[in-house]
Chain A
């Protein structure tokens, strides 16, 4: 329900500049993911939107209105923390109702809203329990439930899946995606360092690096047309291979980027060849690591299993249309 605009937003802690001028528009009902390596300022940016930190300079607008000075509760936001941040001495019900009792709603209304949210998240049977009696996944649901009952205009997630184990992370990820479908009028901002979460959840991804935006776009835009070497390397798994030197010069580029899935193994006379140093079989696909004299080994992604052994020489050719060419500054040549 809220359109969020950031205009040259900056944030410093003392002399340390953390956010160095961010301009961004998040459309109403959009699922925006902030992604970047640790220390890039993505959590700080979220906390600025939440109102948990003061904005040093610049403007934050919700639906065209400047909200820089508004307290978090007045901004109509709800937030899910990485650590869940549940009130440890309150039951699940009280955790979810605590924010509501303050809005002076009638008791029945509050009970109705809490029950509805609890049913949606399948935590109805735990309402009388204390947080410490719940598993990590259940706690995270309570935290999400507490956010839902507030009926927010903007829903903020700060690395909500980081404390969960791998299986639960996937399950909860799907639930969050469903939640976004159900609450499609609510603007959601989600912070993560995990590019898989970013790719699977986002309508648009905002890649941050060192306090500035590197690129904003849909997951496929970032995957197919990265605006920089950094984005190219950050989005996609396994990481994009970078090839420099003569091999790149042959394509009139300083650095060539090619994803592992865009390399074809050929029997003889491929464009490049390298020695196998390691293989990983994942069942559905497999990775072959080739030593080609680059800084890092080149990864080739193959369907199914492979039978290469260390020391084998493998010839590969890139799919020409999937090659990314970058200049010295790491900008793409198109």
Chain B
């Protein structure tokens, strides 16, 4: 019998510290992010903060740096008259501003709706196999590649009431009884702007949707064919649900873009109250009317409206269509407004 006692070997527990590899990775990630963050802070963060700051002052173009802080006066202020009547003034009660908000919303919703529908149709066509597909794919991008100012001027001529080709065609085909001043008349100005924007931006939408369509494996369509699924039903039950994430992202991009529309309207229908959008009105105040602070307040509100709309869109879009299921992991996200970019 041995007298030796068995000594259990000392177990050295691994300390729960960050491994060196992880520390290195985090450090590397920081270094890669810094240039981007700096650039964003300089070109987006600083101007945004300045705009917000100016919106609380009485700044004017002639005297930017001696601006005094005036609180919410640019947004809303009131004076009570001797008669007891209270008169409100400021951005929140400005009918010109609310007209611009309404114009912008109308423009954004209608244009993005048509762009989404047409973009989907174009993408489906481009996704099909036919001869000369690559040429058509390149050609379809032309409207998008033309600078907005150029296409706006081009369309302005086509829509011209005296010399425009559209009036000429309409008259010859008997569709129009008389020449129409498309961009000048208040009742057609918005339609004209919408037509041009849809023409110009549908290719972009189509391209994003096409990218989504190409992610769908071809063989499930063959399985559907064997299952005897009608092509229309294939679209609604297979294509649409599977392309929806790409479509949603495309719509967000377009919506953000449409909410700050400026150049097309500035060129095509200058000074028409039927089409003036938030950006157009804000610029007017900033530079034309020398109401720099007031214009800043409008810019700030525009930023807030876009931010709220985007958050709402993402939140509603996910809850309503997804049943709250996170596409990345199949779990319900804890907080609804949570962008999941691997869609």
Give the interface size class of chain A.
20 to 34
Q: Which of B315-335 contact A (CB under 8 A)?
A: 330
Q: Are B223 and A81 in contact (CB under 8 A)?
A: yes
Stretch at the interface among A4-12, A82-90, A111-119, A228-236: A82-90
**Does the CB pair B330–A102 fall under 8 Å?**
no
Contacting pair B241 A99 (CB below 8 A): no
Whether the Cβ atoms of B220 and A73 lie closer than 8 Å is no
Contact partner of B223 (CB less than 8 A), chosen from A51, A85, A130, A132, is A85
- Assess whether A88 is in contact with B219, with CB atoms less than 8 Å apart: no
Q: Is A73 touching B226 in the complex (CB atoms < 8 A)?
A: yes
B222 & A102 in contact (Cβ 8 Å cutoff): no
* B177 interface contact, C-beta 8 A: no
Q: Is A77 an interface residue (CB 8 A)?
A: yes
**Bound state CA distance, A83 and B229, in angstroms?**
19
Known: A87-B238, A89-B242. A102 touches B220 (CB 8 A): no
Pick from A71, A98, A132: contact of B330, CB under 8 Å:
A132
A78 in contact with B226 (CB, 8 Å): yes
Chain B residues closer than 8 Å to A83, beta-carbon distance: 217, 219
How far is A108 from B224 in the complex, measured between Cα atoms in Å? 22
Select one of A85, A102, A133, A146 contacting B229, CB under 8 A: A102
Tell me whether A73 and B219 are in contact in the complex, defined as CB-CB below 8 angstroms, given that A87-B238, A132-B330 are known contacts.
Answer: no
**CB pair B225 A52 closer than 8 Å:** yes
Query: CB within 8 A of A79: which of B226, B228, B229, B330?
Result: B226
A150 to B229, CA, bound (A): 13
8 Å CB interface, B225-241 against A: 225-230, 233, 237-238, 241
Contact: A99 with B228, CB < 8 Å? yes
Closest beta carbon of chain B to A49's beta carbon, Å: 12
B residues 113-151 in Cβ contact with A at 8 Å? none
Residue of B nearest to A52 (CB): B222
B228, A85: Cβ atoms closer than 8 Å: no
Chain B proximity mask over A84-110: 1 for CB below 8 Å, otherwise 0: 011111000000001100110000000
CB atoms of A102 and B226 under 8 A apart: no
Q: Is the CB of B219 within 8 A of A81?
A: yes
Q: Would you give the shortest CB distance from A139 to chain B, in whole angstroms?
A: 13
Asked whether A72 lies within 8 Å of B219 as measured between CB atoms, the reply is no
Q: B217 to chain A: which residues have CB within 8 Å?
A: 83, 85
A207 at the interface (CB under 8 A from B): no
Which residues in A have their C-beta under 8 angstroms from that of B225?
A: 51-52, 71-73
Tell me the minimal C-beta distance from B54 to chain A in angstroms: 49
Within the assembled complex, what's the spacing in Å between the Cα atoms of A73 and B224? 9
Nearest chain A CB to B225 CB, angstrom units: 5
Once A and B bind, how many residue pairs between them come within 8 Å at the CB atom? 61
Please report the C-alpha to C-alpha distance between residue A78 and residue B237 in the assembled complex, in whole angstroms: 20
Q: Enumerate chain A residues within 8 angstroms of B220, measured Cβ to Cβ.
A: 85-88
Contact mask for chain B residues 72-113; partner A; CB cutoff 8 A; 1 contact, 0 none: 000000000000000000000000000000000000000000
Q: B219, B238, B241: which has the most chain A beta carbons within 10 Å? A: B219
Q: How far is the CB of B182 from chain A (nearest CB, A)?
A: 44
A32 at the interface (CB under 8 A from B): no
Chain A nearest CB: distance from B215 CB in Å?
Answer: 10
The CA-CA distance from A98 to B238 in the complex, in Å, is 11
Q: Which residues of B contact A256 (CB under 8 A)?
A: none
Contact A102 B223 (CB under 8 A): no
Alpha-carbon gap, A61 to B233, bound state (A):
29
Q: List residues of chain A with CB within 8 A of the CB of B226.
A: 50, 52, 72-73, 77-79, 99
Q: In the bound complex, how far is the Cα of B241 from the Cα of A81, in angstroms? A: 22
Q: Please, what's the 1-or-0 string for A52-84, where 1 marks a CB less than 8 Å from any CB in chain B?
A: 100000000000000000011110011101010
A130 touches which of B219, B222, B330 (Cβ 8 Å): B330
Which residues of the other chain, A, contact B241 by a CB distance below 8 angstroms? Answer: 89
Given contacts A85-B217, A87-B220, A88-B242, contact A72 B228 (CB under 8 A): yes
Do A98 and B229 touch across chains, with their CB atoms under 8 A apart?
A: yes
Q: Which residues of B contact A133 (CB under 8 A)?
A: 330
Residues of B within 8 A of A50 (CB): 226
Nearest opposing residue in chain A for B244, CB measure: A89
Q: Enumerate A152-171 residues with CB–CB distance to B below 8 Å.
A: none
Q: In the complex the two chains form, what is the Cα distance from A88 to B327 in whole Å?
A: 11
Q: Is there an interface contact between B219 and A85, defined as CB atoms closer than 8 Å?
A: yes
Whole-angstrom distance between the alpha carbons of A177 and B224 in the complex? 26
Nearest A residue (CB) for B221: A85
Q: What is the minimal beta-carbon distance from A231 to any residue of chain B, in angstroms? A: 31
A77 to B278, CA, bound (A): 60
**A-B contact sample (14 more), CB < 8 A, given A71-B228, A87-B224, A150-B227:** A52-B225, A73-B227, A73-B228, A79-B222, A79-B223, A83-B219, A86-B223, A87-B223, A99-B226, A99-B227, A99-B228, A102-B227, A130-B330, A133-B330
- Please list 6 pairs of residues, one from A and one from B, whose beta carbons are closer than 8 Å in the complex, sorted by A's number: A73-B226, A73-B228, A87-B223, A98-B237, A130-B330, A150-B227
Residues of B within 8 A of A (CB): 217, 219-220, 222-230, 233, 237-238, 241-242, 330
Question: Which 8 A-B residue pairings sit nearest by Cβ, starting from the closest?
Answer: A73-B228, A99-B227, A85-B219, A85-B223, A72-B226, A89-B241, A85-B220, A79-B226
